[in-house]
Amino acid sequence: MLSKLSVWSVVVIILVIGALVLAVADDNFRPTFGDLAKVGVGGYLGQMLPEAKRTGDS
């Protein structure tokens, strides 16, 4: 399992854990930390999707 982890995976895991810790510590900014985690995970998943094949586009 550890061999499949990439740098991006580690960064996203740290981002989500950090956002959760900050959300627990500060009640007033929980939605902000949630949005930060959503953007990070969304960007990670967007990069994991394969690009569409461009054959036959022209």
Per residue in 1-58, pLDDT (tens digit) is: 556 667 878 888 888 888 888 888 888 888 888 888 888 888 878 777 766 555 555 5
Residue with tokens 């929980």: 30
Contact between residue 19 and residue 36 where contact means Cβ atoms under 8 Å apart: yes
Residue ranges per structural domain of the chain: 2-47
**What is the rounded CA–CA span in Å between residue 39 and residue 43?**
6
For 46, residues 6+ apart whose C-beta sits below 8 A from its C-beta are: none
Query: What's the pLDDT score for residue 5?
Result: 64
pLDDT score at 21: 87
Number of Cα atoms under 13 Å in the Cβ half of residue 46: 6
Give me the pLDDT at residue 38, please.
86
pLDDT for the residue numbered 26: 84
Q: What is the pLDDT of residue 3?
A: 61
